[in-house]
Structure 1
């Protein structure tokens, strides 16, 4: 199922995949706000993302990344809202990766979390968040994001 979303050209190996959370909340003025964090390496604004552990569901991995990187806890959508690609910087090399993005309705923010103090965070309007991220596909995904209607 995940392989179907993997964007690559014929003859090229499939891209390795990461998963990400798109943490959001609805403001008092009923607007969608997106939580961005900074990358530890470059300080760029990104959404929480990372690698799945073996046997881990993508939704569980997305929730774990949101907690570890931002202290955000909430309900993850069962299906990704989309995906984007980016170039990951490594030890003197670059690798193009695909990231599946799962919306996460933030219900609470922990006082303490694993990467607290290592990143900055910002709650922003979807338009402002889209302007701050570097990846055009992610910016488009954020700009066009419609919060799922809660059935709770």
Structure 2
């Protein structure tokens, strides 16, 4: 939680941000996700930021993943989940809702805007869920990865008739 002030946040989110949950499958089928460190405090977070004028929210989330971790891929057009955190502003603390979009990573660039400002880690989902600093992100990661596992299972075959 980003909280450095004693001011109390509002219960209803005052602001909306967007985030990407970058993921890939290793050659053996293992799913890995990316977390990055925040620039100020080194907390493990999803790449996130403010909506960008002229872009859909999913495109803004995709842009954040490229700027913060050099990741390029295919983003979901609808959020896969939402979490909320308290953000410290110069004169107050406010509740911020974050819509999260899945990003299937196709490649990582050699150089990107915030390279050297953040650490980027590919992690197994259970490890990422434990490291994620924002409340609710761990559960969101595990729930999303569970949907990936379900969609990759072969369809059940009909039972053969005994007659």
- Identify whether the pair has TM-score above 0.5, normalized to the shorter chain: yes
Instruction: Give the alignment of 1:3-152 within 5 angstroms.
Output: 14-91=13-90, 93-145=92-144, 146-147=147-148
Q: Distance between the aligned counterparts of 1:134 and 1:119, measured in 2? A: 15
- Give me the TM-score of the superposition, normalised by structure 2: 0.79
Unmatched runs of 5 consecutive residues or more in structure 2: 1-10, 153-163
**What's the offset of the Cα at 1:134?**
1.9
Unmatched runs of 5 consecutive residues or more in structure 1: 1-11
Deviations 1:34-71 (A, max 9, x none): 01100001100001000012232011101100000000
**Matched residue SS, 1:131:** helix
CA RMSD, 1 decimal: 2.0
- How many residue pairs align between the two structures? 140
| Alpha carbons of structure 1 residues 129 and 14: separation in structure 2 relative to 1, 3 Å | closer
- Give me the TM-score of the superposition, normalised by structure 1: 0.85
| Alpha carbons of structure 1 residues 65 and 91: separation in structure 2 relative to 1, 3 Å | same
Which structure has the greater CA radius of gyration?
2
Deviation beyond 4 Å, 4+ runs, structure 1: none
Deviates more, 1:134-143 or 1:69-78: 134-143
